[in-house]
Amino acid sequence: MLPKWIKLLLCLLMIVSISSCKDIASKGSNTLKRDTDGLVDFELALQSSIPVIVKIGLDNCVGCEIANEVFKTLSPKYTEVYFCKVDIIKDRQAIKDYNIKQVPTIIFFDTKGRQVYRIEDIIDEEMIIEKMKELSFIGVN
């Protein structure tokens, strides 16, 4: 028979370990699967607590193709941000939901899923990096 104080200590240790496991699991919930271009599912990304940048457009417009290449380059470098794309042919509701007037439209969402900035034009890497810094999505180094 174990003394009462040892039983209490064991119970306390079990409670601490269970809460630690919950903390680890909740931190891992922000890791979404990336596709071969390093992009993440837009709807899932918005539900996370990680900043999101989405390109809304078409797969075959010149500006959209440029944006796709920019996202493909930046995604592995800036893993603290989710990069996504939405094709308005496949998801027509996005046109209404995000008031799309021209393509490509690049929208920045903060960690709470709120739209904080948008670009309705052709982009380059430096534009996106500067805006990520300005919005504190990434460090200013």
CATH of the domain at 55: 3.40.30.10
The answer to the question of residue 51 being in a domain is yes
Residue 96 lies in a domain: yes
In the chain, how many domains are there?
A: 1
| Residue 81 lies inside a defined structural domain of this protein | yes
Each of the 141 residues of the chain gets a pLDDT tens digit; together they read 666 655 555 555 555 444 433 333 333 345 888 888 889 999 999 999 999 999 999 988 999 999 999 999 999 999 999 999 999 999 999 999 999 999 999 999 999 999 999 999 999 999 999 999 999 999 876
| H or E element that contains 84 | strand 82-87
Global pTM value: 0.77
Q: Residue 122's domain spans which residues?
A: 42-134
